[in-house]
Amino acid sequence: MSLFQIDYDSGFCGDDYPVIEIPGSKSVAARRLIIDYIRGEAPEYVNMPRCDDTLELSAALRDLRLGHSGNRYDLGSGGTSMRFFTALAASIEGFDGIVDCSPQLRRRPLSPLVDVLRAIGADIEYLEEEGCPPIYIKGGKLKGGEVAVDTGISSQFISALMLVSRLWASPLSLGLRGEIVSRPYVEMTKRLLEMSDDDSAPYIEGDWSAAAFFYAYCLLVPDKDVRIGLLRKPDLSVQGDAAVADIFKYLGVESEWEGDGEVVLHGNRHVIDSRRSMSVPVEFDMGDVPDLVPALAVCMALAGIRFRFIKVSHLRHKESDRLSALQTEMGKIGFAVETGDDFISWDGRRLPMSKEVIIESYEDHRIAMAFSIAAAKLHHITIRGGQCVSKSFPGFYGELRKIGFVIRIIY
């Protein structure tokens, strides 16, 4: 994998207010693509992200429209795409094909969704390892009705069922076992289903989880303001990760809105210093916003703000085991991070830092982006496999260049 050498020029003189262009939300996009496929429509979307996950799901749906029997559908590394497409294929009469994904995604759990689909009549067969892709699906009219879902691993299973249930013989009635992780993603699905009949040209709002990395930058470099375009105000957004604005406001990064769609970020040194001097770690419940953990963990430690994040156990089932990845890689840059079954924390303890550090990305876009931002404090960092940011934010490094980052790629 390529090495990304990232330096930060603190004396960089670019535009006074560089406009960071973040991609549309891939979570919103995936839901809209499934909704509109079921409606038999392919509208012109506004701000559709051109990231790997969205392109792979779009390609699979395009092939599905062609209706070839025996096709192999490859969903790449998109966990959301894989789960949504599996539920859709199982619910379409006449579907006959293999659904597969990247080796990395083959390690992530699929059996909770397959078990539910089988219980209401789906014909699904594991082709290699039990519980994991690739799978063979023979679609049919599922009976629907009451289904029981284990909610402790991923909200994507619930959303997948909600999106395709209009194809079933009976309406969906959910019986949920346990506390729903990432509940706002289920609320996003519900809202988009309700809104779908009103949009002639659906707008894919900017990705709040991508914006989190630029909030992190302003926490580390509070003297440099950043302007972000294409974001909806938190009270208008369908994304749970819009909570990033309130979280960072507490930490010392303020959001000044210039109408719905553009925000200027300001670091407040007084607030940042007060958080740094707190006698106890800042504690956040991250159960609803797990995608924010990598950015927050890295930037808070580098800002000297001790933290404890709880309700994060499902982060072990993402593109990487994010708790283990953060603990290992933050140790390389001098932070003694602790993890447990359902927490990750830093109590202020430091570790020796070697002169030449190479951060492993684990082919996880959020790990790569979080440590890229670390260069704003460390001045230099090297990341192996930084190209994985294309999963959600292909233009990430180009946007960093606007605010003083210098990126060199060694193949």
Beta strands in 239-334 (DSSP E): 253-257, 261-267, 282-285, 307-310
DSSP-assigned letter for residue 108: S
The residue count of the chain comes to 411
3-class secondary structure, 384? strand
Residue with tokens 């001790």: 306
d(CA 108, CA 116): 17
- CA end-to-end span of the chain, whole Å? 7
Question: Cβ(367)–Cβ(332) under 8 Å?
Answer: no
d(CA 222, CA 219): 6
- Among candidate residues 285, 291, 321, 342, the one labeled active-site is 291
d(CA 215, CA 347): 22
Which of 157, 161, 162, 155 has its CA nearest to residue 181? 155
Question: Cβ(281)–Cβ(330) under 8 Å?
Answer: no
Q: Is 341 a catalytic residue?
A: no
Q: Hey, which residues are catalytic here?
A: 291
